[in-house]
Amino acid sequence: MTASESKVFSRASGLAAWKQVADSIEADIAAGRISPGDRIAPEAQLAERFGVNRHTVRRGLADLAERGLVRATQGSGTFVEARPLAYPIGLKTRFSEVMAKAGKEARGELVSAEHGNADAATAEALKIKPGAPVLDMLTVNRADGVPLSLARTFLPLPRFLGLEQIFATKGSLTKAYKKFGLDDYKRLSTRITARPAAADEAQMLDIAPGRTLLIINAINVDMDGKPIQSTLSRFVADRVELVVER
């Protein structure tokens, strides 16, 4: 590994030394010379390569860490972070299609499904009477086996009776809808918040409790504008990046 891979370091460029270090490593990542998961050179080695003090290297790495490009682990090294999966949010967002486009295999796993009664919020979302029967499904959605989100979905019940069994085998809500003669649907509303993961959520998503979750509250309607589902999705924040589509 020669220093020729990196840009030339200039003392008199006006740019702070730590910034030049950071920019150089960022360029290495952007150009694919170092890939997600790779350990970058130890700080001492970087200091020698750039001809700066280790403190200067650390300042640069801190800048990259703050922007989420690398993550330092004491005693182990500094690693290039996996770029989070871009997850589009738009009028017609389909989990399975989004994943297929990203070259990932999407699969929804049914954790539980039960018949319940709509509480005030769910009733308003689905435009049904409070206490009306709903299908209450809990699913874990994975991309290539890695849990991305934990979703609780409410569906109005006379209409989608038995949908959970189709979902369980197909692993896709879109496909399950087709069995009910519903070929197309769209997003009515999307609301986004974030909070730390509770113990049970962490367990199902295979993360440590307290890790950040992106909470998405979505309502989908059929082409007649009739609500067909109200979903509370909990995404592992450092595995996805939500992209708002226009």
Residues at the interface with DNA (CB under 7 A): 16-19, 40, 42-44, 51-56, 58-59, 61, 72-78
Question: With respect to a second copy, which residue has the nearer C-beta, 48 or 222?
Answer: 222
Element (H, E) at 175: helix 173-178
Q: Give whichever of 55 and 67 is closer to DNA, judged by the CB atom.
A: 55
Binding partner of residue 84 among DNA, a second copy, none, CB under 5 to 8 Å per kind? Answer: a second copy
Nearer to a second copy, 100 or 243 (CB): 243
In terms of CB distance, is 107 or 239 closer to a second copy? 239
Residue pair 22/64 in contact by the 8 Å Cβ criterion: yes
Residue 77 exposed, middle or buried by CB count within 10 Å (0-12, 13-18, 19+): middle
Helix (H, G, I), strand (E, B) or coil at 85: strand
Half-sphere exposure of 202 (CA within 13 A, CB side): 11
98 binds, among DNA, a second copy, none (CB under 5 to 8 A by kind): none
Beta-strand ranges (E) seen in the chain are: 70-73, 77-80, 85-89, 106-117, 133-143, 146-156, 185-196, 212-222, 227-236, 240-244
State the binding partner of 212 from a second copy, DNA, none, CB within 5 to 8 A by kind.
Answer: a second copy
Which positions lie near a second copy, rule CB under 8 A? 15, 19, 22-23, 26-27, 30, 66-68, 84, 86, 89, 91, 117, 119-121, 130-131, 187, 189-196, 198, 212-214, 237-238, 240-244, 246
CB under 5 to 8 A by kind: which of a second copy, DNA, none does 73 bind?
DNA
Residue 134 has what DSSP assignment? E
